[in-house]
Structure 1
Amino acid sequence: MRTTLRPRKAVAAATATVLALALAACGSGSDGSGGPEEAGPLAGETVTVAAVWTGPEQENFTKVLKEFEKRTGAKTVFVPAQDPIVNFLGTKIAGGSPPDVAMLPQVGAIQQAVAEKWLKPVGPDAKAQLAANYSRGWQELGAVDGTQYGVYFKAANKSLVWYNSAVFDNAGAVEPKTWKEFLATAETISASGVAPVSVGGADGWTLTDWFENVYLSQAGPARYDQLAKHSIPWTDPSVTAALTTLGELFGKPSLLAGGADGALQTEYPTSVTQTFTGGDQPKGAMVFEGDFAAVNIAQTSAEIGKDAKVFPFPAVGGGAAPVVTAGDAAVALKDSKGAQALLAFLASPDAAGIWAAEGGFLSPNKNLDPATYPNDVQREIARALIGAGDDFRFDMSDQMPQSFGGTPGKGEWKALQDFLKDPKDITGTQARLEADAAKAYRAGTKG
């Protein structure tokens, strides 16, 4: 189905405000050429932005907000949010102090917030930027029942395996293309004296990513879509097959850094840094996760493209190599000029380019110049994402009710942590997954 484009005059008119904001930056600043920054079109407005980002992610997003301030004269305030952010927003709304804008990391969270009548539709300026810069698939992920609410600012390619090149060289290992080859490579590395796979099992979301990549490749896109909507149960034979496949890795403690117990005590950031710390004798040789792992790799002495390399998640069972994506969408909780202007700015290549240049970031904005990314590895990851067009699948757990697919210690996160601890209990894992999913979807229907 082709995207229906708005008339060219309407797009041009809707873009005018965003362009005016960009031009305002040229006439403002501290060099005395155009007056103080507060003289912009949004002077006197304060825009509060809630997100769960911390550390380098928060720092880099703040740079984006600072540029918005420079261009508009508005003041921005970053509001640290707790995960799950929907619960955090609910508390803020109940207290009468919602932020102007929030960054929601799940499609399901957008749908829940719309059902609660918390969100405001995006305005014409943001719609114009989306039409010009985003594929149909990324636009639709931010829409509910045909109404656009979200602007996907930050994306992720969650079908990548990063590896320590020195360990691979010492072991004589090569990049695998299939799951069978992946397991063989793991055995080769294990024989060389290094634990092959680092798993951040203390963060349940990493385990959902493992499952989704295996499931998408092995079961196929149609089944993936059905399971994401819970139109087939978690007791389906396709889930049995995927857990059986995953158990081929999780069921061999020698292939996991620290074994299953160690993996369950390892948080995601550590799972990455321990792969690239210790030269050719790290705690783990490979770590599966998205392009955003570059942020954590940067905290080590490893150089991306030299010491830290990457290959696509291997194809499973004769299926195609999976492409699972995720992302954070900006949504407006207040119908203010500042909130709408920020959504429009975040949908522009200029905003994406600020964070892209810092690394550890991937944009779905097709008009962002790949040269903006800091190294060839990230440029190739970005080209692959944009080149996929609409031929990708969004993170399954992020499409589900947050109580099932996005809450620490509950639902899918907890069930897969229990599975990592006991990968032989496939039937019990499926039963728990189905019971929790059915409860969450029933609650979502009532809501």
Structure 2
Amino acid sequence: MMRRRTTLLTGCTALVLALGATACGGGPVSAGGGDKALSGQTVTVAGVWSGSEQKNFQKVLDAFAEKTGAKTQFVSTGDNVSTVVGSKIEGGNAPDVVMVPQVGVLQQFAQKGWLKPLSPAAQKTITADYAPVWKKYGSVDGTLYGLYFKAAHKSTVWYSPDALAQAGVKPPKSYDDMLKAGHTVSDSGLAAFAVAGQDGWTLTDWFENVYLSQAGPEKYDALAAHKLKWTDPTVVKALTTLGKLFKDKQLVAGGQKEALNTDFPGSVEKVFGPEPEAGLVYEGDFVAGVAHDQFGKSIGKDADFFPFPAVDGGTAPVVSGGDAAVVLKDAKNAKAGMKLLEYLATPEAAAVWAKAGGFLSPNKKLNLSAYGDDVTRATAKSLVGAGDSVRFDMSDQAPAAFGGTKGTGEWKLLQDFLRDPSDPKGTAAKLEAAAAKAYQG
């Protein structure tokens, strides 16, 4: 996959790790060529990141500044990116670059005429160094606006190696085997899964993995675009499959009621906290960051993962999320903003955050040695190796009213389904009614 440039890239990565991100010049796109061409200019970047994510992205911005002479400023928007950015545009204070966390929001920005198409240099790099699927998700009506800089691997099941060893089970290869292993873990004294039902987005991720594997990528794409109705038999089948897990008190820590009162960090705590209640938790690669940072777990030793297994003989799913960098058309310094995107497209930029941790890059030219541990290398290899079979988080592709709003749409309806999974067909009908309204709007 990366054999053509292994020697060159390994040397570059070693320099990056030893001397800092500016030690390696170039890559296919240079951001000002290292000649301080942007001295005196300030690039403003808006995004949802805060805490450690913001600190680590600042390291990337600092590397860009060192290379080009530009100053950078990051503005944290909170979760409601579109509202914050919209108000800034209306106030004549648009940021130069926005890190957009959802395909649906990127499409919304493009349709409002807010975005500047990517430069030929950025497009050339993305075409050469990324699987075509990432170009597809960054494009609207055939025009490429977004560069996916940070990705998430949402098809990872995390577990306590001690819990599985105590139960005498190994990481399963199929969904049915995973449920059987869960029952064995439960028989040994712990519940199988901690389910974060208080956060509706985690339930959409459960559904998407089951649906992608069971129904296949074509149906997945059609449902994501609402070209297939949520009342389709494939949806009812996936809900039925998920319902069997949700209603099994041996499999869900504390049963449905407790799951609905457990948020995402709480679900990780139930497996990796000081008083474990479950052996496994399904969610994205970012589980590792919580397990390590909050509970001191050594990733690969105290916490490990296996790929979300294939359902009903289908292909094992690879669902992803990600943050796309876009340049705003009305920005005061859009030209320098575009230079930042050209830099973010390089393996050099990705290596800065990869070294810091809590990061995956869809850039296939980033050498896996840039990542700090074997588990992250394994998740990155799985994501990049999936190529065009990767599918972006379905709820992130939907209008926010359906796929991204607390207490409404898909989030709420799947919470209702977790509470009472007895009527998959009825739930599918409610999902279709909510989807139809949101997509029409």
TM-score over 0.5 (shorter chain):
yes
1:295 aligns with 2:289: yes
Where does residue 59 of structure 1 map in the other structure? 55
Letter aligned with residue 380 of structure 2: A
Q: Select between 254-263 and 186-195 the one with higher mean Cα deviation.
A: 254-263
Q: Say which of 359, 369, 373 aligns to 1:371.
A: 369
Where does residue 227 of structure 2 map in the other structure? 231
* Aligned-pair CA distance for 1:22: 4.8
Structure 1: how far apart are the matches of 2:34 and 2:90? 38
Any conservation in 1 of the 2:31–2:68 contact (CA below 8 Å)? no
Q: Say which of 345, 348, 356 aligns to 1:347.
A: 345
Q: What SS does the aligned partner of 2:85 have?
A: helix
1:89 aligns with 2:89: no
* Aligned-pair CA distance for 1:23: 2.5
Q: Say which of 260, 270, 276 aligns to 1:282.
A: 276
Where does residue 135 of structure 1 map in the other structure? 131
Where does residue 310 of structure 1 map in the other structure? 305
* Aligned-pair CA distance for 1:441: 1.0
Q: Select between 262-271 and 222-231 the one with higher mean Cα deviation.
A: 262-271
Deviations 1:255-282 (A, max 9, x none): 222322222222212322332123xx51
Question: Which consecutive aligned stretches of 4+ in structure 1 deviate over 3 angstroms post-superposition?
Answer: 15-18
Q: What SS does the aligned partner of 2:363 have?
A: coil
Where does residue 12 of structure 1 map in the other structure? none
Deviations 1:59-100 (A, max 9, x none): 211111111111122221111112232222222222322211
Taking a change above 3 Å as real, the CA distance of residues 390 and 97 of structure 1, as seen in their structure-2 partners, is: same
Identical pairs, percent:
54
Where does residue 378 of structure 2 map in the other structure? 380
Q: What SS does the aligned partner of 1:196 have?
A: strand
Structure 1: how far apart are the matches of 2:378 and 2:33? 29
Q: Say which of 30, 37, 53 aligns to 1:19.
A: 30
1:203 aligns with 2:203: no
* Aligned-pair CA distance for 1:17: 10
* Aligned-pair CA distance for 1:158: 0.9
Letter aligned with residue 291 of structure 2: I
Where does residue 11 of structure 1 map in the other structure? none
1:120 aligns with 2:116: yes
Where does residue 318 of structure 2 map in the other structure? 323
Structure 2: how far apart are the matches of 1:203 and 1:19? 41
* Aligned-pair CA distance for 1:310: 0.8
Equivalent residue pairs, number? 412
* Aligned-pair CA distance for 1:293: 1.8
Deviations 1:214-248 (A, max 9, x none): 00111111211111111111111111110010011
Structure 2: how far apart are the matches of 1:17 and 1:246? 45
User: Which runs of structure 2 are paired with 1:98-247 in the superposition (5 Å)?
Assistant: 98-247=94-243
Structure 1: how far apart are the matches of 2:50 and 2:288? 15
Structure 1: how far apart are the matches of 2:271 and 2:77? 29
Where does residue 253 of structure 1 map in the other structure? 249
Any conservation in 2 of the 1:200–1:206 contact (CA below 8 Å)? yes
Taking a change above 3 Å as real, the CA distance of residues 291 and 20 of structure 1, as seen in their structure-2 partners, is: closer
User: Which runs of structure 2 are paired with 1:386-397 in the superposition (5 Å)?
Assistant: 386-397=384-395
Q: Say which of 387, 398, 401 aligns to 2:399.
A: 401
* Aligned-pair CA distance for 1:290: 1.4
Any conservation in 1 of the 2:43–2:96 contact (CA below 8 Å)? yes
Structure 1: how far apart are the matches of 2:317 and 2:413? 23
Structure 1: how far apart are the matches of 2:196 and 2:123? 38
Where does residue 36 of structure 1 map in the other structure? none
* Aligned-pair CA distance for 1:318: 1.6
Q: What SS does the aligned partner of 1:328 have?
A: strand
Question: What root-mean-square deviation, in Å, do the aligned CA atoms of Structure 1 and Structure 2 show?
Answer: 1.7
Deviations 1:148-182 (A, max 9, x none): 10000011211110100011111112211111111
* Aligned-pair CA distance for 1:101: 0.9
Letter aligned with residue 439 of structure 2: Y
Structure 1: how far apart are the matches of 2:27 and 2:416? 53
Q: Say which of 429, 432, 435 aligns to 1:434.
A: 432
Q: Select between 243-252 and 259-268 the one with higher mean Cα deviation.
A: 259-268
Letter aligned with residue 150 of structure 2: K
Structure 1: how far apart are the matches of 2:94 and 2:119? 19
Structure 2: runs of 5+ lacking an equivalent: 1-25
Any conservation in 2 of the 1:293–1:360 contact (CA below 8 Å)? no
* Aligned-pair CA distance for 1:339: 0.8
TM-score, normalised via structure 1 length: 0.88
Taking a change above 3 Å as real, the CA distance of residues 242 and 228 of structure 1, as seen in their structure-2 partners, is: same
Taking a change above 3 Å as real, the CA distance of residues 20 and 436 of structure 1, as seen in their structure-2 partners, is: closer
Q: What SS does the aligned partner of 1:78 have?
A: strand
Letter aligned with residue 85 of structure 1: V
Structure 2: how far apart are the matches of 1:102 and 1:421? 37
* Aligned-pair CA distance for 1:18: 4.3
Structure 1: runs of 5+ lacking an equivalent: 1-14, 25-39
Structure 2: how far apart are the matches of 1:252 and 1:16? 52
* Aligned-pair CA distance for 1:57: 1.3
Taking a change above 3 Å as real, the CA distance of residues 17 and 326 of structure 1, as seen in their structure-2 partners, is: closer
* Aligned-pair CA distance for 1:197: 0.6
Letter aligned with residue 287 of structure 1: V
Deviations 1:99-133 (A, max 9, x none): 11111111111111111111111112322321332
